[in-house]
Structure 1
């Protein structure tokens, strides 16, 4: 399913991942090319490493200089290639079965790597079909994102597209009911969910969905949160929406 090399700017250099979950998941992914691993003797001793992988033993201080700030590397850092592209048509074909009720997540201008990583983790937890982002308005694969995803970067298909509105047209043609999440509507998510397969569309915090993206949704709905809170972090909203969609699909 993954094919075609990325040629955009986020492929300019090999990303480095850190942290036990991110590193173990990357090593376990047969589609991930790992070039090198650095680690403490204790951390490396717990891993079953391929014999051809270059290994560099390093102390905690050395590893700390390889990651930003106080990033929790847990004694492990790897250098990898970005995964090859996932094409939207291939992903939609995977969810074409009428009995396949897995939700699809579409992210509009969500650029914070911690948020996208957390959304990937929720997508894995609730068995989402995958996530779709615009290539120019989403973070590249990187250490902070992989750490926040806690291994889900390796398991959840991530489609990057040039034009999100055209992608939503294709998603709708594939039989998905496209629900955009926003606070300025009376319709709740529970009311918008129905028997169809669903694509949940979330915009960046503050700005929300762009107008042209919202125009390509079948419904706009809100999460019924207390008026004591103005809004939710986008990764929290995604997790709640995925849970609601999974419960509807199971019903």
Structure 2
């Protein structure tokens, strides 16, 4: 079984990191700009055949803005729930987990994965039910991060949080009604940041399994941030504290 990845950054990332996964590469007739030439050069260096197609045919192959390039690839190696303890153990005191509870928009997941990659996150964890998984839109928005950041969907998120606690990870739930700012918390040790869907927030059982709640201080009239924006801010507060 294969899947389609589209968009310049997403296709370039898979050609750079895992060219053996690429089975077919489709590009738009007549495109010869520098960005596409970089993609074609990577394909040539890995002896990957390129198939020229009219734009309207590419439009029919995927839903979304393909930017003139589509790769048909073998799925990336899938991380499973049983892999999480080993990932946490390997990271040791630098473990940083991003937990997304009930995120259903693939654009948000893709943006979260991109921030997670930039922040050096150990793994991104999400429930298997009522949560978006990896797909073409996620890969495009993530700009290659979906290929390298372990994304693990778990059957029981509350149980997974408890297992993280037993492994020495502090669980920090982000909630607008919390009394303490995230900036006033010590995030230098092994940490899992939990963010819920915009509006609904974390589910009750998820909240109950957090060690403590924290908030981002909001100075304006907007009461909440998009989850991917909030995730980026929270992750890089951890990075800032650890560098300090």
TM-score (norm 2): 0.87
Separation (CA, whole Å) in 2 of partners of 1:81 and 1:89:
22
Q: 1:29 aligns with which of 17, 23, 29?
A: 17
What's the RMSD between the two structures over aligned residues?
A: 2.2
Three-state SS of the structure 1 residue aligned to 2:134 is coil
Aligned twin of 1:67: 62
2:42 is paired with a residue whose SS is: coil
For the 8 Å contact 1:107–1:131, the answer to whether it is kept is yes
**How many residues in Structure 1 have an aligned counterpart in Structure 2?**
236
Match for residue 218 of structure 1? 211
Contact 2:15 2:42 in 1 (8 A): no
Structure 1 residue runs of 5 or longer lacking an equivalent are 1-12
Match of 1:47 in 2: 42
Match of 2:147 among 144, 154, 158: 154
Name the CA shift for 1:32/1:101 in 2 (closer, same or farther; >3 Å). Answer: farther
SS at 2:240's partner residue?
A: helix
Summarize the Cα distance change of 1:142–1:229 in structure 2 as closer, same or farther, 3 Å threshold. Answer: same
Structure 1 or 2: more helix by fraction: 2
Which stretches in structure 2 are left out of the alignment for 5+ residues? none
CA change 1:19–1:217 in 2 (3 A) is same
Q: Deviations 1:65-107 (Å, cap 9, x if unpaired)?
A: 2222xx3312210122332331345344334368642421011
Secondary structure class of the residue paired with 1:206? coil
Other structure's SS at 2:99 match: strand
- Please give the secondary structure, in 2, of the residue aligned with 1:147: helix
Q: Residue in 1 aligned with 2:234?
A: 241
Q: Is the Cα–Cα contact under 8 Å of residues 188 and 238 in structure 2 kept in the other structure?
A: no
Matched-pair contact (CA < 8 Å) for 1:179–1:192? no
